[in-house]
Chain A
Amino acid sequence: MKSVFILQWQRFRRAPILVLSFLGMTILFVSVLAGFGGPNSQFTIYTYGDPSLEEEMKVKWLDRLNEAENLTFKWVEESEAHDAVSSRDAGLALKLMNDDYRILIAVQEPSSVSVENYVYQVFSEELRLQEVASQADGEEFRSELERVMNEPAIQIVTESLSGEESTFIYDDQLHVLFGMTLFFSIYTIMFSLMNVAEEKRVGTWDRLIVSPLYKWQIYTGHLLYSFLIGYFQILVAFLFFQFLFGFDLGERYGMLLLVIACYTFAIVSLGMLVMGLVKRSQQMQAVVPILATAMAMLGGAYWPIEIVTNEILLALSKGMPIYYGLDALKGAAIYNFGLPELVQPISIMLLFGVVCMGIGINLMERRA
């Protein structure tokens, strides 16, 4: 087994392009789709004041505006803000006045719309409160408003099974990272498994069969290699985006490693099943892209499965290991789930793997 396993790495060393290209594509796709300027990244808005702006108002507006989670309003000199916008270092800049504002913008971008909306909302709300306060007893109204806001008469709480205050937490960056990584790992694993089909074609497989090696040793050598090459690809992609792009993978590293292992096992087994079904390695080359893309689409790698409402598609997604892989990874990284909460997707992936492996090897041996 060891000899067969080492041999696969030797062969990889001589022809690494295929595997490395899939890792490269993972990094490229995740970088493009989620690495830069995603909804979760902090957006800094250069803010400066009109000469008429009073110091007290400047502090008040900045405090109110910086209540936003994803926006940072940074106070700069007017000239600096102008330079940043004209050189495109900043998409827009905000000019504050005592009871009004102006937005300095060079090119309209999708992100500037949300900033404009936010600033408009803050100003209109504050000015409306000021208007009401000026008609009532100013100080008393403010304290009454604060009390009511802290103890509202009616409180609406939306709670999901996960206990969070929304139906699901959608982290775009992590979804893209998990989806694309698991998607491209299917290619790497299945194409590396094609070594078995290739060995059967050229006759080295027969040479191994008539050697003192047992058949299980030959299979294990190949499967272990395919497992590890897929596992490392996923791991490298995760580490790359965590340390270079600051993606937040949570603190459940052990669970993430376990989930990756179970998913990789399921895909290796699926690859064996496909190899058992096709007759030639060329057929495998045609089947793998179709299978990988279909699984990724149905399993929720391209978009969150939570937005799918079609019952048939939802039912089909339950048959895809990538669905359970994504579910478990998000559970560990976003919801901080441990083994008790993730035992279901992990078990399903393992069961899927065992069944596919059994059928796949059986089919291959029958054909032999």
Chain B
Amino acid sequence: MLETEELKKVFKGKTAVNGVNLYMDKGESVGLLGPNGAGKSTTISMISSLIKPTSGDVKLKGQSVLKDPGIIRNVLGVVPQEIALYEELTAYENLKFFGRIYGLKGKELEAKIQEVLEIVGLKERQKEIVKTYSGGMQRRVNMAAAMLHEPELLIMDEPTVGIDPQSRTHILDTVRHLNQEKGLTVLYTSHYMEEVERLCDRVYIMDHGQIIASGTKDELKSILSGEETILIDLDRPYPDLVTDLQSHDGIRQTIETEKGLKLIVPKGSKLLGSIFQVAERHQAQILNVNVKVPTLEDVFLHLTGRKLRD
């Protein structure tokens, strides 16, 4: 349905996106994962025809979006990262306006407004001024405005930033419903790993303007299939312990976390005993130990050497 060819964007000599190739099939839910500043927003801005790429092209059903942006604008819904609403108007008035600009009118527009308000759970409060809503409610209206015209492709740019857990769950459930029940194609960008794991069939991982890995969740996790993660909670930081573990032959990666340490070790290496010995040597008090299989977060860490929210 959609593919990008060597997308590149340079801002004042600085390359924000460099040779991005990605594709999406109809009905797929694809995640674009990366830390802040990775180039996700620039990439989706180029896909949605908001900004022109320095080079490369975006093709929708084989047609160049660069040559005719109109082909994507009629079938696209964009949920921007910011609350892009008229806050002095009610939710209903906002939706009425956004519906009109997509050519909806009369009873059809009214029906669609009520339908999306039902989906985002704001039907009862539709006549209230948007600025009186909580951040989570505003984000739900923000999303509803992109769904009114029943787009074929929905691009969501970090739609859950800064909201309460209840609204986040509501938004994620809505996206999953739209994708699985209605066959909507979704491109979901986030730096929340758990959201992407929950919603997306395939994932592109971006860093420094480039796609550094892609595939299904299982394919990506298989990058670390020969490894497992040991999480150790400590009573306080022990810098010397970290140094010792980093030079330990059996441990592939040692990362300091808020609670203690995260160790990437070969699967089935039975290193716990020697780790306890090293800890004892440094008189470190271990509060908890947890051995788990790798997550996408671990994959990202493995690929980039840094955490998603750095």
Contact = CB atoms under 8 A, between A and B. Distances in A.
A202 B78 CA distance: 15
For the side of the interface on A, what is the size category? Answer: 10 to 19
A95 to B, nearest CB: 65
A7 B76 contact: no
Most chain B CB atoms below 10 A, which of A14, A208, A211: A211
B271 interface: no
B257 interface: no
Contacts of B80: 203, 206-207
A6 B98 CA distance: 12
Contacts of A211: 73, 98, 101-102
Contact of A212 (B85, B86, B97, B103): B103
A7 B49 contact: no
A3 B97 contact: yes
Interface string B225-267: 0000000000000000000000000000000000000000000
A10 interface: yes
Contacts of A11: 86, 88-89
B220 interface: no
Interface in B84-107: 84-89, 93, 97-98, 100-103
Nearest to B78: A210
B161 interface: no
B73 A204 contact: no
B83 A15 contact: no
A103 interface: no
B88 A14 contact: yes
B145 interface: yes
B74 interface: yes
A289 B86 CA distance: 26
A7 B49 CA distance: 24
Interface string A339-365: 000000000000000000000000000
Nearest to A12: B88
Nearest to A206: B50
B70 interface: yes
Nearest to A217: B101
Interface string A1-33: 001101100110011000000000000000000
Q: Which 6 interchain pairs have the tightest Cβ spacing?
A: A203-B84, A3-B100, A203-B82, A14-B88, A207-B84, A204-B84
Given A204-B84, A207-B84, A212-B70, 14 more contacts: A4-B101, A7-B97, A10-B93, A202-B85, A202-B87, A203-B84, A207-B80, A209-B50, A210-B49, A210-B73, A211-B98, A211-B101, A211-B102, A212-B73
